[in-house]
Structure 1
């Protein structure tokens, strides 16, 4: 909770569980395995962080941390954020991701992270803000 505003905020940061889903990539088949991995990883990390359940309104701010300095347009990765929001719904943070419950979603690219066994593809950081209903 921020003292100045009384806003409740939580941060989830975890390694990318699958490939980054990009609007620029031409998939031959729907990437169901990656979608499921992102969704399940988000629900798992929400549970591990003991996030609250049954919030009525939130905003989600996503920061993508890649392992290289390649030039990217962060908004091409909105499919990843959609999977993460679905994972938050699966966890029970909000009832669903309609606009009555999900007020705002923003995405940006963050600092580069070193590649490693658990961070081969990078990391995602989700800042979740409980909005006044």
Structure 2
């Protein structure tokens, strides 16, 4: 099903080499909490720096750019996407990340980036 968008897209790119969270990892709870906070805070200040007007509803695509050509599953980076989306909400771009404001979240692999793994949220405003 296609969701009608307004054509406005905001891309929140986290810096390369930021430690990402994957569903395959099993870190200590304190390590996971520190990484989650780092991703959330980084996404918040990155979103604020864009100085974009708030949106009410959006479709979100999480794009994972690998460092190598090895196979990987972009869906496994859901913990990173959730933390980053919480940061976008903290910055005020979206009022909340519930089902009324985030219509759909999808995951895709981006092109290889030799400087390190990179993660971005592509946020498309919905009419």
TM-score (norm 2): 0.86
2:36 maps to what in 1?
Answer: 35
Shift of the 6–130 alpha-carbon distance from structure 1 to 2, 3 Å rule, reads closer
Q: Is the 8 A contact 2:6 2:125 kept in 1?
A: no
Q: Structure 2 stretches of 5 or more lacking a match?
A: none
Q: Is the 8 A contact 1:64 1:125 kept in 2?
A: yes
- TM-superposed CA distance for 1:17, in Å, is 6.0
Count of residues paired in the alignment: 122
**SS state at 1:93 partner:** coil
The reply to whether residue 131 of structure 1 matches residue 121 of structure 2 is: no
- TM-superposed CA distance for 1:71, in Å, is 1.7
Segments of 4+ moved more than 4 angstroms: none
Q: Structure 1 stretches of 5 or more lacking a match?
A: 116-120
TM-score (norm 1): 0.83
Shift of the 17–43 alpha-carbon distance from structure 1 to 2, 3 Å rule, reads farther
2:117 maps to what in 1?
Answer: 122
Q: Is the 8 A contact 1:16 1:38 kept in 2?
A: no
Distance 1:100 1:6 in 2: 17
Distance 1:103 1:17 in 2: 29
Structure richer in helix, relative to its length: 2
Matches within 5 A, 1:92-103: 92-103=92-103
